[in-house]
Homo-oligomer: A and B are copies of this chain.
Amino acid sequence: MYSTEKYPSQILQEAVEAIGSLPGVGSRSALRLALHLLGQPAENIHHFTAAINRLADDVHYCRTCQMIADSDTCSICADRTRDTRTICVVESVRDVMSIEATGQYRGVYHILGGIISPIDGIGPSDLHIKELVERIRGMQAEDIEIILALSGDVEGETTSLYIYRQIEGLGVKVSTLARGLGFGDDLEYADALTLGRSIVARQPFRP
């Protein structure tokens, strides 16, 4: 007899722990998923893990905007119908996907890869802020608009202000998302209508 905390096999236990380390997956779900995988043919399991390993090994990032891509240029930057003089600055790949899903935005993006967060040890130099400044410097400043589309929490505001200070002398227009979103809301959880309205009704950035 063993308790509910113990497993009949070290290998099963390690698989349950690995699956249970995913966000939002509890130990009961992890066990259920591990036993499901255990019941699969080996080739199905290998197919599953190979698809996930490619996330680590084969994913490219767009050299312009840092979006996930299958080559050096993402599908958005490669799209000639997009307005390359409007650059929406976001934290993550997920945020780009959320904004794209609204169908309301025709500009391009710049992904920071995170947000300034002293408590997590993430400073400006850990983010793609320098690349943003260089990207703007490499363009004619006229008619460029930078949309700061970061979360409405303290880290997001701090990061927006930091970026504003870096680019305010470059002669570009700087805006931010309309606060139709509640303060503290994550882009990830916003409904498409609200998020779409927010990006259309974006406001001048007032530091």
Contacts and interface: CB of A to CB of B under 8 A. Distances in A.
Determine chain A's interface SS by DSSP, over half rule.
helix
B70 A11 contact: yes
Which one of A4, A23, A55, A67 has the highest number of Cβ atoms from chain B below 10 Å of its Cβ? A55
A99 B65 CA distance: 54
B70 A9 contact: yes
Copies of this chain in the oligomer: 2
Given A8-B69, A68-B12, A100-B2, A55 B38 contact: yes
A68 B9 contact: yes
Interface string A1-31: 1111001111110110111011111000101
Contacts of A38: 55, 59, 68, 93
B52 A1 contact: no
Which range contains the number of A residues in contact with the other chain? 35 or more
A97 interface: yes
A139 interface: no
A49 B45 CA distance: 9
Nearest to A81: B1
Contact of A18 (B10, B18, B36, B51): B51
